Amino acid sequence: MVKAVIFDWDGTLADTKEAVVQTFQEALVEVNCAVTDKFIERLMGVGTKKTFEEALKKCNVEFDDAMLESLVRDKIESQVELFEKVSLFKGAAELLGELKGRTKISLATMSGRKVINRLLSEKRIESCFDVVITADDVAKPKPDPEVFLVAAAKLGVKSKDCIVIEDSIFGVRAAREAGMKCIAVLSGAYSREELLEEVPDLIIDSLTEKEKILQFIFSSY
């Protein structure tokens, strides 16, 4: 039976696109790196450091670990202050409320701890999660399954008893690699066709499809 549901944050539970893109672009302009907003959007899910790496490579800007860490710090500090530009997707709070008490719930995101703690507090949903795993808790970004495996371990649940809810191809791939079932939601930067190529167990248009999600979760095993 399902013992845990693991949620992604950016593009899954929360519409963070404006804040994420703005803070990446502000940091990149300081190192003379110009990429499109779409370039950044399609890397949401792999983590801040990895996104900077890919952007700098695309711009042929030389970098080292010190530079990356500086960019990451600047981006996080800026994003913490943009909490008003972040909103929960319609249906997110209701779904979390329906799951609370029926199964364990975790957040597993490649966003930083400082940003996530501020946002969960501002949106008043921190109590919904039994465990919160961020980029600060893992060494490898999605599509590596580490963030989901750490979440399951912290919850004390086996991978086969977890269902992940994700919006990105990286997240769906990571869930499959972790040996978990996955619900893909079309609220991020990826099309239905792109997500289907990663073979999720269920694909939905939005979190407002609450009954469909709950039926899948509680009849999956």
Q: Kindly report the pTM of this predicted structure.
A: 0.93
38 and 91 assigned to the same domain:
no
The last residue of a domain, from among 83, 108, 132: 83
In a shared domain, residues 131 and 58? no
Question: Which of 42, 68, 83 is the last residue before a domain boundary?
Answer: 83
Average pLDDT over residues 162-173: 97
Q: Above 60 in pLDDT, residue 220?
A: no
pLDDT tier for residue 195 given thresholds of 50, 70 and 90: very high
Q: Note whether 134 and 201 are same-domain residues.
A: yes
Question: Around Cβ 190, how many Cβ atoms within 10 Å?
Answer: 26
Residue 173 and residue 89 share a domain: yes
Same domain, 179 and 96: yes
- Tell me what pLDDT residue 102 has: 95
Please compute the mean of the pLDDT values over residues 179-193 and round it to a whole number.
Answer: 97
- Domain match, 207 and 124 both: yes
Q: What's CA 191's distance to the chain center, in Å?
A: 17
Which residues have a Cβ under 8 Å from the Cβ of 54 and sit 6 or more positions away? Answer: 43, 46
Total domains in the chain come to 2
Q: Which of these, 140, 183, 176, 136, lies nearest to 160 by C-alpha position?
A: 176
- The answer on 166 and 78 residing in a single domain is no
* Last residue of one domain, picked from the residues 55, 83, 111: 83
How confident is the model over 82-131, as pLDDT tens digits? 999 999 999 999 999 999 999 999 999 999 999 999 999 999 999 999 99
Round to whole Å and give the CA distance between 95 and 194. 25
CA 23 to CA 59: how far, in whole Å?
18
CATH number (domain holding residue 139): 3.40.50.1000
Average pLDDT over the chain reads: 96
Q: Which domain does 65 fall in, by range?
A: 17-83
